[in-house]
Amino acid sequence: MTLRKIILSIMFLGLFSCNSNKDRNPPADSYPNIKIVSAMRNVMWKGELGGKIRFDTISNKKGLYGIGPLSYLAGEVLINNGVSYVSKVTTDSTMTVETNFNVSAPFFVYTNVTEWDKIELPSDIKTIRDIEKLVDEKTVGLKRPFAFKLRGKVSRAIIHIQNLPVGTKVSSPAEAHQGQTNYEINNEDVEIIGFFSTEHKGVFTHHDSNIHLHLITNDKRKMGHLDEVEIEKMKIYFPIK
């Protein structure tokens, strides 16, 4: 091969490499406080339903927090202070919630937090949009992305659990949400674990939001992705810088 052909081959490979990296997720080591595995859009549009992370590989992490769906969209996962909760649909009005690290997720975001700053949530903060705005305003000095949490009582909330029929092929969000089941919660004490980012839409937040939230009731009998909330009285917690 001539020198000119060798140079052209190297240039082509370099160009191909740059183009093929365009749509890759940000590497986990770009965000030292947060670990990101795959992306929501890969599940919704590419049908990548299988497990990309097994939770037994991270189960010994102190102060571990994480959220995402169960592999094959068969349920929801919440890791709350080192405990892995898995919820699954049983009927339109009932669910199971168990503690289990022997499961996996097609995309996931997780972190380790051992110290928190706590503040009383202002009385005018009632909805998810209110929470998102407050979190953005109160954390200008924090390294982003990050996890946060809320504890207290909700007047009402709607959570969902993914329940995709076995064997379903997915190539769009509409197909991915087949079988999704919604549950209403009224006048309960709960904990909400959230992750905030302004640059991960389609990765671990939806395209129209900077936060992803999972809710679990204090009695651990209900858990799922939070879609709507009416807050009665809560405290919010941010990781200490």
**pLDDT tens digit sequence for 210-237:** 999 999 999 999 999 999 999 999 999 9
71: closest CA among 53, 56, 46, 44? 53
Residue that wins the pLDDT comparison between 136 and 25: 136
Question: Could you report the per-residue pLDDT of 195-211, keeping only the tens digit for each?
Answer: 999 889 889 998 889 99
Mean of pLDDT values over 164-173: 93
Q: What predicted TM-score, i.e. pTM, was given to this entire model?
A: 0.85
Q: Is the pLDDT of residue 17 over 70?
A: no
Q: Is the pLDDT of residue 162 over 70?
A: yes
Residue that wins the pLDDT comparison between 22 and 187: 187
Mean of pLDDT values over 79-86: 96
Mean of pLDDT values over 142-169: 95
Distance CA 237, CA 119 (A): 7
pLDDT given for residue 25 in this prediction: 41
Domains in the chain and their CATH numbers?
Answer: 25-239 (3.30.1330.80)
Q: Which two tokens stand for residue 225?
A: 């992705």
Reported as a pLDDT band with limits 50, 70 and 90, residue 10 is very low
Q: Is the pLDDT of residue 24 over 60?
A: no
**Which residue shows structure tokens 């995402």?**
68
Reported as a pLDDT band with limits 50, 70 and 90, residue 30 is low
Output the average pLDDT for the chain: 88
pLDDT given for residue 38 in this prediction: 94
Other beta carbons less than 10 A from residue 182's beta carbon:
13
Q: Which two tokens stand for residue 23?
A: 């749509």
Q: Is the pLDDT of residue 149 over 80?
A: yes
Whether the Cβ atoms of residue 26 and residue 50 lie closer than 8 Å to each other: no
Reported as a pLDDT band with limits 50, 70 and 90, residue 50 is very high
Distance CA 199, CA 26 (A): 10
Q: Is the pLDDT of residue 13 over 50?
A: no
Q: Is the pLDDT of residue 29 over 90?
A: no
Reported as a pLDDT band with limits 50, 70 and 90, residue 142 is confident
**Which residue shows structure tokens 């076995």?**
166
Q: Is the pLDDT of residue 191 over 50?
A: yes
